[in-house]
Amino acid sequence: AQTTCIAPTGTIGLLMDCDTTGIEPDYALIKYKKLAGGGYFKIINQSVPGALRRLGYKPDEIKDIVDYCVGTGSLDTAPYINRASLRKKGFTDDILDNIQLELPMAFDISFAFNKFVLGESFCKEVLKLTDEQLNSPTFKMLEHLGFTDEEVQSANDSICGRMTVEDAPHLKERHYPVFDCANQCGKYGKRFIRPEAHIRMMAAAQPFLSGAISKTINMPNDSTITDVERAHMLSWKLMLKGTAVYRDGSKLSQPLNSVATDSFNQLKMEEEAPAMQAAKQIIEVVREHKRKALPHRRKGYTQKASIGGHKVYLRTGEYDDGTLGEIFIDMHKEGAAYRSLMNCFAIAISLGLQHGVPLEEFSDAFVFTRFEPNGIVTGNKAITMSTSTIDYIFRELAITYLGRTDLAQVTPDDLRADSIGKKDQQSSDEETVFDPDDSSERPSLLEDTPAFETAAKTEAVTRPVVAVPSNGNGNGNGNGAQVSTAENSASVGTATTTAVIAKLKGYEGDACQECGSLTLVRNGTCLKCMTCGATSGCS
């Protein structure tokens, strides 16, 4: 049994007011926490001053090192961009005080210069900015005020810090390893703890634990697949019970970041540039797609099925090349509102098909739609469950015309499909008795499947019997017991067998996100797919 484990998650450690939780090194000396409601929060490692004192540095040296890393957070001593230079641009003392309040927690000095901090009226009346400029995410107010990129960067390093202790004044190079983190610190940092060191730290603690260690092996952004393979191989060699690998920047959104620069905006602009350029191009209309009429005499098929006890007739019409051109849907009695709606829906789909809309588009759009009637499907060999009538119809069409066996609950490997036109086995009230020794009387569905062949023989030989009570009294004068087969007395035929099995398995009716099968069962507080084994994520 698992009795002990370590879960030194870095983000949870922040709520514990801990810079590090032992085996998990700090993500970076200064990092930015992404908030669930939007925005970011600046987190500064509070252990640096204490570590510098332990290393023997003087108070004034410690202050210089901390200011180099974290920044002064003040406009007073900043080069180029300070209170004096901003007053010349028209900034008042109240506006400068508002900026000063934002600087200690700002990623970059430019984040404190926007309409929300300065006030929209000040931006328009004093700075003469337009609404388009204020609302543009790429607008740089400091550049508009006349400051160069070098001046902005110099002021930013002074106010917001360089986010690393490397090259800090007074700090000796031999003390650099004390402040190494899981990632490179800021855009100036070069040092970080290698993935191998993470693994060896875990290996040192693993012998004292019965469970695994929930610790992330942080890898830099330029890590390769080979680096990940080596990490897993080393973890196996050192007999770790679990390994979690994360490459920096591999997710679009991650909880912690160590760098806050314009690179994200630049990357976004580079990605959007080709799309914007393509949108401006004039697209020439090569030809207008006209309706392709079906032949007067056309082929197709009719599929009868029952969805949750409601009969559905699906009829198709095909072009000469075998592609689908129209569908008809019959349900309920003539004049019913639901039947009329389904007829109109079928006409709309048919017009779309005849005007060139691919069947794949309809299938992807309407599969997994949910409304009544839904549930167990009988009468169709490939589909046993559906979430609605529309879901069933487009599953059937996709399987038949597109070969989408992934939408079927019964695949061709499990059941050989009959060709169109061959008579299906009917689940009627008529009793049909098969001779187990006469192969010619077996259902055509089971002719070429040995597994079903054996099952058919066994079922025919061991057919359940029902003893009907008679008026006999046991002395030989009664009429005796009448014995009959179970087909007529118990309606447990092919039409209800699937329903009974489904109820016994407790299907929920939802579609599996992995394989698409409607075989999800309740597993604790989650759902588990009985087809592929996938779960909803918490079990």
Tens of pLDDT, residue by residue over 211-246, are 888 888 888 888 899 999 999 999 999 999 988 898
Give the CA distances from residue 450 to residues 420, 436, 445, 453, 457, in Å, rounded to whole numbers and listed in that order: 23, 14, 11, 5, 11
Cα separation, 146 vs 92, in Å, equals 18
Return the pLDDT at 228.
92
Return the pLDDT at 237.
95
* In the predicted structure, residue 460 carries a pLDDT above the cut 50: no
Q: In sequence order, what are the residues at sequence separation of 6 or more whose Cβ sits closer than 8 angstroms to the Cβ of residue 104?
A: 42, 73
Most confident of 43-52, 253-262, 529-538: 43-52
Return the pLDDT at 538.
56
- Dihedral sign computed on CA atoms, order 245, 248, 250, 253: positive
Tens of pLDDT, residue by residue over 165-191, are: 999 999 999 999 999 988 888 888 889
**Rounded average pLDDT over 304-308:** 89
How many CA atoms, within 13 angstroms, populate the side-chain half-sphere of residue 14? 18
Q: Provide the pLDDT confidence category of residue 489 given band limits of 50, 70 and 90.
A: very low
Tens of pLDDT, residue by residue over 192-204, are: 889 999 999 999 9
Cα separation, 385 vs 306, in Å, equals 10
- Dihedral sign computed on CA atoms, order 85, 89, 94, 95: negative
- Of 28-37, 60-69, 170-179, 288-297, the poorest mean pLDDT is in 28-37
Give the CA distances from residue 112 to residues 6, 70, 404, in Å, rounded to whole numbers and listed in that order: 40, 16, 55
* In the predicted structure, residue 381 carries a pLDDT above the cut 50: yes
Q: What is the mean pLDDT of the chain?
A: 77
CB 122 within 8 A of CB 98: no
Residue with the larger pLDDT of the pair 414 and 343: 343
**Rounded average pLDDT over 42-51:** 85
Cα separation, 437 vs 350, in Å, equals 48
Tokens of 209: 């634990």
**Rounded average pLDDT over 320-336:** 83
* In the predicted structure, residue 438 carries a pLDDT above the cut 80: no
Q: In sequence order, what are the residues at sequence separation of 6 or more whose Cβ sits closer than 8 angstroms to the Cβ of residue 289?
A: 355, 356
Cα separation, 526 vs 528, in Å, equals 7
Tokens of 298: 């056309």
Tokens of 332: 């309920």
Tens of pLDDT, residue by residue over 122-172, are: 888 888 888 888 888 888 888 888 899 899 999 989 998 888 999 999 999
**Rounded average pLDDT over 36-47:** 75
* In the predicted structure, residue 477 carries a pLDDT above the cut 90: no
**84: amino acid identity, one letter:** A
Report strand pairing: 256-257 vs 30-34: antiparallel
pTM of the entire predicted model: 0.47
3-state SS class at 257: strand
* In the predicted structure, residue 425 carries a pLDDT above the cut 80: no
Strand partners, 227: none
Radius of gyration of the chain from its Cα atoms, rounded to whole angstroms? 36
Return the pLDDT at 231.
93
Nearest Cα neighbor of 299 from 314, 320, 327, 328 is 320
Return the pLDDT at 481.
43
Cα separation, 378 vs 399, in Å, equals 16
Per-residue 3-state assignment (H helix, E strand, C coil) for 352-383: HHHCCCCHHHHHHHHCCCCCCCCEEEECCCCC
Cis ω before 373 (30° cut-off from 0): yes
φ and ψ of 522, to 5 deg:
-70, 130
**193: amino acid identity, one letter:** I
